[in-house]
Amino acid sequence: MDRRYFGTDGIRGEIGTYPMTPDFVLKLGWAAGKVLANQKNPLVVIGKDTRISGYMLESALEAGLVAAGVNIRLLGPMPTPAIAYLTKTFRASAGIVVSASHNPYQDNGVKFFSSNGTKLADETELAIESYLEQDIVTVKSSKLGKVVRVDDATGRYIEFCKRALPSDIKLEGLKIVVDCANGATYHVTPHILSELGADLITVANSPNGLNINHECGATSLDMLSKQVILHEADLGIALDGDGDRLMMIDHTGAVIDGDEILAIITKHRMNDETSGQDIVGTLMSNLGLEQSIEGMGLNFHRANVGDRYVMEKLIENNGILGGESSGHIIIRDRIETGDGTIAALQVLRAVIETGRSLHELKHVMTKYPQTLINVDLSGSVDVESNNQIQQAVNDAETQLGKRGRVLLRASGTQPLIRVMVEGQDENETAMLAAGIAEVVTAEATAAS
């Protein structure tokens, strides 16, 4: 069966537009509760990021779950990975996050974690969707769920993150600028870094419900880059609105993306043999990352785009480290989901233990120039079976040889074909990408 509502990362949309409406989310809570109701003493933990609509959706979920007879622990504003961790800590049946991650405040979403802190299985999501087609039936009053607010959730997660580093690692002597994206890490990550001894400058940590991800955070790095240079800091840390992405800035103001972060962590953890033999990236991971990992004598695997697919590939290969260029980094021997703060601490450990700057460490891989062109589909065209498009791709791949690669990928949310060409020469990749995009446009127009 195809999912009607669930995407790769829960259900997401603009507030006030179906399905991000209070009535739908109330029913979503009830449907999830019905799926969990067969368990003994079902319990769900709920957390959210800092966008203004979070309170409304949290209340709607709460009402639906209680109506289905499920008990609730409310965590308040917390990073997404913290909710995954606390789901396991409380031995909960599931965890729910009210967040639209790196999206602007007008959007929101609902995503679920299983009892072991991973994304829900497909069959569970389909079971929830089946109940969405039914009318809400409230359990007897004696069976209604109970709601308790957890007052020490922040402290629990802070201590968990600090334990991700050896006890003898301190950050004294490091000047760090951290950008919290006015999101869910605003009251967590600065405390962790300060308690570990860093000389800390914190920016974008005053959420007002409307400023989450606005010109700040992991998807908007100009401000952080300027702050690192202004304060003559050693490095900058940028998280997104729900804290599961990490991007970094070196002391020169240059961006360190998810591919480089994954390479740095992998290389450093080879010293104590905790990197594992199988590292997972995605179809969009830079070719330089693949070559770097293979140069370390490790195996590199490409998953579909999306952290849930990275996790699936890690499980399939019994891997420990994986991630995306966008900054979702999964470190499975620490936590079973992407965690920006945990990933940042792993990089800081490498800086401390090697005595090398982030700028020096990033040279563990050489990034290949990438050209990405989004082609608007005016008609319906199957790029896999279209002879003209495939010929253009084959010609480009022949020209590049082992010096690069070509990827065509349909957008999961828009009528677009993403044409990506990667190679050693920036001008060559731009020319080849433009040529393929021109063919895709022509074939799509002809099909309309």
Q: CATH number of 11-153: 2.70.70.10, 3.40.50.1980, 3.40.1280.10, 3.40.120.10? A: 3.40.120.10
Q: What is the pLDDT of residue 77?
A: 97
Which of 101, 225, 292, 326 is catalytic? The answer is: 101
Q: What is the pLDDT of residue 279?
A: 98
> Rounded to whole angstroms, what are the CA distances from 325 to 145, 261, 262, 276, 302?
41, 9, 9, 20, 12
Q: What is the pLDDT of residue 404?
A: 94
Contact present, 184 and 242 (Cβ < 8 Å): yes
Q: Is 370-447 a CATH 3.40.50.1100 domain?
A: no
- The tokens of 426 are what? 């920036």
Residue 59's CB: how many other CB atoms inside 10 A? 14
- What is the DSSP secondary structure assignment for residue 139, as one 8-state letter? P
User: Topology of domain 169-256, per CATH?
Assistant: Alpha-D-Glucose-1,6-Bisphosphate; Chain A, domain 3 (3.40.120)
Pairing of strands 416-423, 404-410: antiparallel
Contact present, 43 and 90 (Cβ < 8 Å): yes
Q: Give the CB-side neighbour count of residue 7, counting CA atoms within 13 A.
A: 14
Q: What is the pLDDT of residue 412?
A: 64
> Rounded to whole angstroms, what are the CA distances from 416 to 282, 360, 377?
19, 38, 6
Tens-digit pLDDT string for the chain (448 aa): 577 899 878 999 999 999 999 999 999 999 999 999 888 899 999 999 999 999 999 999 999 999 999 999 999 999 999 999 999 999 999 999 999 999 999 999 999 999 999 888 889 999 999 999 999 999 999 999 999 999 999 999 999 999 999 999 999 999 999 999 999 999 999 999 999 999 999 999 999 999 999 999 999 999 999 999 999 999 999 999 999 999 999 999 999 999 999 999 999 999 888 899 999 999 999 999 999 999 999 999 999 988 989 999 999 999 999 999 999 999 999 999 999 999 999 999 999 999 999 999 999 999 999 999 999 886 678 888 999 999 999 999 999 998 999 999 887 667 889 999 999 999 999 999 999 999 999 988 887 7
Instruction: Give dist(CA 323, CA 399) in Å, integer.
Output: 29
**Annotated catalytic residue 101:** yes
- Residue 118 sits at the vertex; the CA angle it makes with 41 and 410, to the nearest 5 degrees, is 135
User: Where do the domains of the chain lie?
Assistant: 11-153, 169-256, 257-338, 370-447
Instruction: Give dist(CA 281, CA 304) in Å, integer.
Output: 9
Q: Give the CB-side neighbour count of residue 100, counting CA atoms within 13 A.
A: 21
Placement of tokens 């590292």 in the chain: 279
Does the pTM of the predicted model rise above 0.75?
yes
User: Topology of domain 257-338, per CATH?
Assistant: Alpha-D-Glucose-1,6-Bisphosphate; Chain A, domain 3 (3.40.120)
